[in-house]
Amino acid sequence: MKATQAGGLTISTMRLEDIPVVMEIEDRSFPTPWSESSFRYELLENPYASLFVVRRAGDPAVVAFACVWVVDREMRINNLAVHPLWRGRGVGWHLLGFLLDFAREGGCREVTLEVRPSNQAALRLYRKAGLVPVALRKQYYSDTHEDAIVMSRALEPRPSR
């Protein structure tokens, strides 16, 4: 999928040179952040992974990112984060909409993810996008032993043109 612009934001494929800023967002967003080597692996070696960054149109600074896996006809959202200074401005909504379109264009029929029950902002975002809780993984997060809510959404096929 090519870069897209919406709402003054540009979403494009993550590059190696984006990793330092992505790491800053990651560190400020999660209790147990991914390592730089994890992002490098996803970018360079994982054939199922697609990583994206969000920038303000005309500005090189990354304000959000996502990492997804597409396996068969399912897209799994592994990581999605918005820089704290950009939260509450619709950035996550634009990124999630882009990811759902990316999944549809790739022939996916379902989107899944795991989210902490304590992450109320993410839960609101995912529910707004039509994802619903389908399971609970007890003590899923090793750092806090918090459960994970598994959320899912079926995707309608892209209409033929």
Q: Which of 17, 24, 74, 126 is catalytic?
A: 126
**Is 126 considered catalytic here?**
yes
Q: Which of 36, 105, 110, 114 is catalytic?
A: 114
Q: Three-state secondary structure along the chain? A: CCCEEECCEEEEECCHHHHHHHHHHHHHHCCCCCCHHHHHHHHHCCCCEEEEEEEECCCCCEEEEEEEEEECCEEEEEEEEECHHHCCCCHHHHHHHHHHHHHHHCCCCEEEEEECCCCHHHHHHHHHCCCEEEEEECCCCCCCCCCEEEEEEECCCCCCC
**Is 114 considered catalytic here?**
yes
Q: Give the active site residues.
A: 114, 126
